Structure 1
């Protein structure tokens, strides 16, 4: 930052010094909002002073000792940011909090700030932090498979293109001796890092229309003005990967590694990748947490190390070790040709500069237009339909998809699913809200409820053979009855008017020791109910009565009063299907009579 660019250069210099100290104190290794806050506030202070104060006073703007009250400027700046970054943007809020943090640091360090400015630094921003937008959901199973298949197809195409480029490279030679209108020679020049657009303009015909057909094909039909740069990029792409070419590796690795964030994956260097006989061990650095984790990803079979150096073997597998070997094989020429690219795992070569552009090697960032995740999804692919992927095309959804796949595979409680990768609360807030996780949780809860309700409300059915031998101890025990109760049922002493009851004094609907007073209204929802085949005609009449109630009651009321009994009857009739034709005939012929209390026929009609 150059404070001399601002009229309030003294204030800008003081804030910049605090920014440097702040970064050192927190050991920040990446850009942050503090720098933007200093620049934004210094620029606004210039415009504010131009309207409110004279030129002599402009030089007296300081954190301490100035003639202008910075508190007023801060308030005005906050209002301006509110209009520039309206909700749901958090940029304005973050700029203000970072500026106040720098001022508070200065006061804590020196204690020489005016009381009003120090108090403002300790107070919260004028506007609260905007609420988070809609949470990102995982990709559906169909989308996950589409992304996986497209990524695999693109990797095969990339490897074939680079193999073809190597053949061109072996056939080419220095174009200064072999000629400039040969694609192999131009590929040789691009690989040797000597080629730039100035050479192409000087040695190729001035009009791209007069270029040889094979050279025009490499330029991919770019406009005349951009043809040299497009040709340069196409030649380099024959032997080096572009940034968009590495997106498929990123997609497949994030889908395969649920414990790796996109930032950790992008920050990997060759030193962080250690191949073993059983797979690959990654050293993942999570800067926000200040922590380094080492993860072992195994292969289905041990890698072949007979050559003595299997790091660049380029195995054609789709697991994590195989993908990393293929990625290293593809990016290794970049590191050899351009040492400035360092030892980054994600290294590419692309044209850089305007006018006299030349290719340069650098690390990937996947943030520039044409190179992002959404650009890879939207790019046309020959012979295949366009990918139909729901928006937003956010790479973080890949990680959530991998997390949810782990949920589906492992199941269990949130504490088990969080593992050692997250705190339980972090997993619950950021990953457990996925649609698939909610569906699975709902199914688990519903299944558990059904089992509980079935154990509490399921009547016992005794077929004809069981009824004939009801007095025998083995049959009674199989039905969950003692011999005395079974004999009483056989004699009809426990018939409650609809079905039998094994213990009228132990109803789940009344206090224990009191006779059940809800029979027969709740008999089909009672675990004490025992149904004989002779009861089925009555139950058929009850089912018809319930259906008549459906026509008389509003749907919510019918569901509350009769819904569970109707479901219980339907389940019982399905289980007793072989007895139902006879029971329905008996009900139609009037061989059975349904005696219901008056309240069951009239009370619910009102």
Structure 2
């Protein structure tokens, strides 16, 4: 066997150790390796010769104790209940619950209980929800404020910003290029406390980004940048590197009216809007 505790000799030694106290109370029984212990109706102990088929059965014990159960009166049902409870305590980890036999035996004989199935489903659902929330927390995209150009501080506060954050956004102190940033020192792409090192390239994938109407010219310039990358990168590479930004950008631009986009293009053509990107943004490797 693969584990020493599953070797026949090791199992016999463990059984001898576990039944030592019982055999000590049944010294009158000789010529046999194991003895049987039972509890009478008056809750006194009785020791005798162990026989595979005897009155000291699980059914006899149920009758003596006055316990009624539905279905087959087989002691294996009691063991299955214990195994299910052990699986519950170990939060569904089969490797821990199957500590006295193989995991395959547990899956075949004990993993069919309704309680265990519900627990396993709950564990799987919890794990899936955890990683789903992690994914959403990283790429849920920016908050977009659409409407008139005169965005005031109260409007920003009503959307969830603190008074100081709203004041900084209005003053342009948190302008990162294609968007404003709620907190550039707490971004999902950098370590907490460090200034975000991927702005403005990843602002469209960041939960801290706030896009105001005044950002429209820069968004159109960023769209031109991504369109150029689509011509030089293979589709799988572009999707892997820029797919989320592209989807979020198109969603933001779709919310703007043709008049707003035309006015933003006039600002670009007049040289009143520029997009500052890091030098590395102009070099992409298709790999």
TM-score, normalising length from structure 1?
0.27
1:169-568 correspondence runs (5 A)? 283-285=70-72, 287=74, 289=76, 291=78, 415=88, 426=106, 447-457=129-139, 458-464=141-147, 468-472=150-154, 475-568=155-248
Determine whether 1:581 maps to 2:264. Answer: no
1:542–1:594 contact (8 Å) kept in structure 2: yes
Q: How far is 1:520 from its partner?
A: 0.7
Q: Distance in 2 between matches of 1:439 and 1:283?
A: 27
Is the 8 Å Cα contact of residues 157 and 166 (structure 2) preserved in structure 1? no
Q: 1:438: Cα distance to partner? A: 10
Q: Does 1:594 align with 2:271?
A: no
Give the whole-Å Cα distance in 1 for the aligned partners of 2:126 and 2:259: 39
Please give the TM-score of this superposition, normalised by the length of structure 2: 0.50
Whole-angstrom CA distance in 2 between matches of 1:594 and 1:569: 15
In structure 1, how many angstroms separate the alpha carbons of the residues matched to 2:121 and 2:79? 34
1:257-291: CA deviations, max 9, x gaps? xxxxxxxxxxxxxxxxxxxxxxxx98222758264
Contact preservation (8 Å) 2:203, 2:209: yes
Consecutive unaligned residues in structure 2, runs of 5 or more: 1-49, 55-67, 81-86, 114-118
Q: Distance in 2 between matches of 1:443 and 1:587?
A: 46
8 Å CA contact 1:284, 1:292 repeated in 2: no
2:28 maps to none
In the aligned structure 2, how far is the partner of 1:496 from the partner of 1:478? 22
CA distance in 2, matches of 1:441, 1:570: 37
8 A Cα contact 2:234 2:286, kept in partner: no
Shift of 1:532: 0.5
Whichever of the two has the greater Rg, that structure is 1
Residues of 2 paired with 1:447 and 1:289: CA distance?
36
- Deviation string 1:473-516 (CA, Å, 9 cap, x unpaired) is xx343333333332332232321111111233333333444433
Distance 1:588 1:476, change over 3 A: closer
State the secondary structure of the residue aligned to 1:485. helix
Cα distance between partner residues in 2 of 1:459 and 1:544? 19
C-alpha contact (below 8 Å) 2:179/2:210 kept by paired residues: yes
Query: Is 1:460–1:479's contact at 8 Å kept on the other side of the alignment?
Result: no
Q: Distance in 1 between matches of 2:251 and 2:129?
A: 16
Distance in 1, matches of 2:124 and 2:221, equals 35
How far apart, CA to CA, are the structure 2 residues paired with 1:292 and 1:504?
Answer: 57
Q: Is the 8 A contact 2:204 2:245 kept in 1?
A: yes
Question: Could you report, residue by residue, the CA deviation over 1:309-359 in whole angstroms, capped at 9, with x for unpaired residues?
Answer: xxxxxxxxxxxxxxxxxxxxxxxxxxxxxxxxxxxxxxxxxxxxxxxxxxx
> CA contact under 8 A between 1:536 and 1:580: conserved in structure 2?
no
Alignment correspondent of 1:356: none
Cross-structure match for 2:22 = none
SS at match of 1:530: strand
> In the aligned structure 2, how far is the partner of 1:546 from the partner of 1:290?
64
In 1, Cα distance between equivalents of 2:161 and 2:213? 18
Superposed CA offset, 1:438-493 (max 9, x none)? 9998776555444444345432222335x635323xx3433333333323322323
- RMSD of the alignment, in Å? 4.5
Whole-Å separation in 2 of the counterparts to 1:585 and 1:524 = 22
Contact (CA 8 Å) 2:146, 2:212: kept in 1 or not? yes
User: Distance in 2 between the 1:541 and 1:456 partners?
Assistant: 24
Cα distance in structure 2, aligned partners of 1:440 and 1:530: 36
SS of residue matched to 2:210: strand
Residues 1:446 and 1:26: Cα distance change in structure 2 (over 3 Å): same
| Count of residue pairs brought into register by the alignment | 197
Q: How big is each residue's C-alpha offset from its partner over 1:494-547, in whole Å with a ceiling of 9 and x where there is no partner?
A: 211111112333333334444332211221222221101222343344345334
Contact 2:176/2:200 (<8 A) preserved: yes
Matches of 2:137 and 2:223 in 1, distance apart?
A: 22
**Cα 1:586–1:468, aligned 2, differ >3 Å: closer, same or farther?**
closer
Q: For residues 439 and 584 of structure 1, what CA distance do their matches in structure 2 show?
A: 49
SS of 1:579 mapped into structure 2? coil
